[in-house]
Structure 1
Amino acid sequence: MSIRTPFSMRLNEAERQVLEERAGAMPLAAYIKSVVLAEDAPRYRKRRTPPIAEQQLLAEVLARLGQSRTANNLNQIAKHLNQGTLVVDEELEADLKAALADVAWMRVTLMRALGVSS
């Protein structure tokens, strides 16, 4: 004997009226089950699983994010900029250029993995 679990569905008045009219003398729940569980009931596509190449690109971006302190470094730079204590020296300039390159690479790689043209 299988356990029956309840299923709830919200309908507005017009939707319920249409279903009741279509069900005729048949109980509404029985009618809904007969339509939904029918062999010729519409089937929707399964979710598309990304191809291996796309998964590899996404993994590369996640790995780079995990290894990088870019987000933290940019946050610290913004903090000093807002406080008026930012001193731009050669090291900071190099860090900013590296961060920009990382962000640009991530953007291009994510767009490619998602199949979006730039």
Structure 2
Amino acid sequence: MDSGQPIKNPLYPVSLRMTFEEKANLELAAAGMSLSSYIRWRIFDPASPPPKHRGKQPVKDHVALARLLAMMGQSRIGNNLNQLAKAVNSGSLPVTPETEAELIEAARAIVHMRRLLLEALQIEATP
């Protein structure tokens, strides 16, 4: 569906080779901007403030986020909570000391995951 009209400001690709570490550092410095936008800004307008759309990546601590994701991947909390909800809704959940201990342990795990997520996002936890 070509309209026959010329494109106002055509963009031309430029290739740049760099090491894995250089690219990782560039992505970190770009802080969520596309690499293309970040490089254009740094080369052609470095004195200006960064474009407003910076910060699409809210994660500040990737190590903490990785720990959280690993913990969530190993846990069956979602499945277990779903089973508990079904048992509660059907009235078949016996409240034994073992059940209570498991619920307390699940709550502790959820609180721990919340702390890790807040740490990864560098957000102050509210009491």
TM-score using structure 1 length? 0.59
Deviations 1:67-102 (A, max 9, x none): 111111111111000001110112111110110001
Name 1:68's counterpart in structure 2: 75
Aligned mates of 1:99, 1:113 — CA distance in 2? 21
2:86 pairs with 1:79:
yes
Q: How many residues matched?
A: 85
2:69 pairs with 1:96:
no
Q: Which has the higher helix share?
A: 1
The gaps in structure 2 that reach 5 residues or longer are 11-39
Aligned mates of 1:77, 1:55 — CA distance in 2? 32
Name 2:119's counterpart in structure 1: 112
The gaps in structure 1 that reach 5 residues or longer are 1-5, 7-26
Aligned mates of 1:29, 1:67 — CA distance in 2? 51
Q: 1:84 to 1:115 in 2, by over 3 A?
A: same
Q: What is the percentage of aligned positions where both structures have the same residue?
A: 35
1:1-118 paired onto structure 2 within 5 Å? 29-30=7-8, 33=9, 44=51, 47=55, 50=59, 54-118=61-125
TM-score using structure 2 length? 0.55
Runs of 4+ residues deviating >4 angstroms: 45-51
Deviations 1:52-73 (A, max 9, x none): xx11111111111111111111
RMSD (Å) for aligned C-alpha atoms: 3.1
Aligned mates of 1:29, 1:63 — CA distance in 2? 47
Whose Rg is larger? 1
